[in-house]
Amino acid sequence: MYMDRTIKLKLEMPDEGKENLRQTVVLFNQVFNEVAKYGFENHTYSKVSIHHATYYDIRERHPELNSSHVQGARDVACEALKGVKLKRLPQSIPFSAIRYNKNTIRIVFEHGYASVSSVNGRVKVCFTIPKYYEQYLGWEVRSSTLNYDSRNDLFYLHVTLRTESPKPSGNTVLGIDRGIVNVAVCSNNVFFNDSKVKNARAKYAYLRKELQSKGTKSAKRLLKKMSRKERRFVTDVNHCIAKDIVNMPFDVIALEDLTSIRVQKRKGKNFNRKLNNWSFYQLEQFIRYKAEALGKQVVSVDPRFSSQKCSKCGHTYKGNRDGSSYRCRSCGFQIHADLNAARNIAQAGISCLSRLSVNQPNVGMSAVQDTVQ
């Protein structure tokens, strides 16, 4: 198991270096567009066939672009084509961020510099490592992207670093169900249905409606300000909830994997609502960060049936759930529907752990107690 962190470094360099990097960014994006166009027109995102068709021509026309950059642009283009399933032509603007790999960049964190390949040889850039980032010294550099902020003429490097996750000390699993009504429900019977959030959301929804109906310029400005405020509020609440969750006496935290698109179709409207809610992602990110810092593991589990399955006997039936209450037609078990889901998630987390064979999971499951709410 690994954990990845992305850090952002502000780069310093002489004007000449900036010019070289600007040209590199523009050319990289031009190549990206050329390659994407080829793939789109020939209906392929295969790296191999696109490579054979475009590489030598591009190298010939742009010998100044490092061959690794040509390959990098091709890879990114193929991924973009695949991402849109060839349904439309992905295009990048001249100053889109570009990808670097170990052939095109060498980063020396300890000395705060990097040598970055450009259309005109290597550019040496400097950066200061903020104190907070010092914890990442010694992590393995996975990938980096060069971002150009053309408005302020500044370059940034986003570097993704990886290290091995600390091994969980034990194997007790806490399952978390994230929801609309309850922000989070834990398999140990703890509910986070912070009425503060609900009240705030209701208040903001009401104000938003009022302001929208006005439609004036100042109303629009207020709306913007308000949505920032609401976001900050939810962020604060998410921080608190994540902190409480990771401090519970469990070694492993299991969450629904909301990113597996495969599942998206099967789960219907409710699930999609979860998927589109940035607050769910944020809570997950906070939990991951804080858990990892404590040496706790976070596992993502398949969310299928977590709300339909009986956490006691395993009977899976849609009709078992009715709003917030769950009653198993097979064994008669009654429980709050979100808590039932949280326990299923915990159980899925336990089987996930045994597949990963991290220790021998504790099948006694202190995470899953059979107490009825």
- φ/ψ of 17, rounded to 5, equals -60, -40
Q: Which of 73, 77, 173 is nearest to 119 (CA)?
A: 73
Structure tokens, 359: 């220790």
Q: Is 315 in the site for Zn ion (CB under 5 A)?
A: yes
Q: Is 335 in the site for Zn ion (CB under 5 A)?
A: no
Q: Which of 354, 357, 320 is nearest to 340 (CA)?
A: 320
Q: Which of 288, 306, 291, 320 is nearest to 349 (CA)?
A: 306
Closer Cβ to Zn ion, 313 or 363, answer by number: 313
Residues 32, 38, 280, 333: which binds Zn ion (CB under 5 A)? 333
Q: Do the Cβ atoms of 271 and 260 come closer than 8 Å? A: no
Shortest distance, position 264 Cβ to Zn ion, whole Å: 27
Q: Which of 177, 181, 198, 180 is nearest to 272 (CA)?
A: 180
Q: Is 373 in the site for Zn ion (CB under 5 A)?
A: no
Q: Is 326 in the site for Zn ion (CB under 5 A)?
A: no
Closer Cβ to Zn ion, 142 or 315, answer by number: 315
Segment contacting Zn ion by CB under 5 A, of 155-163, 196-204, 247-255, 302-310:
302-310
Q: Do the Cβ atoms of 6 and 161 come closer than 8 Å? A: yes
Closer Cβ to Zn ion, 310 or 352, answer by number: 310
Q: Which of 176, 173, 172, 174 is nearest to 341 (CA)?
A: 176
Q: Is 98 in the site for Zn ion (CB under 5 A)?
A: no
Segment contacting Zn ion by CB under 5 A, of 9-17, 56-64, 235-243, 303-311:
303-311
Distance CA 5, CA 67 (A): 28
Closer Cβ to Zn ion, 155 or 333, answer by number: 333
Shortest distance, position 254 Cβ to Zn ion, whole Å: 20
Residues 67, 227, 330, 354: which binds Zn ion (CB under 5 A)? 330
Angle between helices 15-41 and 67-83 (to 10 degrees): 50
Closer Cβ to Zn ion, 22 or 321, answer by number: 321
Q: Is 327 in the site for Zn ion (CB under 5 A)?
A: no
Q: Which of 76, 96, 73 is nearest to 84 (CA)?
A: 76
Q: Is 205 in the site for Zn ion (CB under 5 A)?
A: no
| Binding site residues, Zn ion, CB under 5 A | 310, 312-313, 315, 328, 330-331, 333
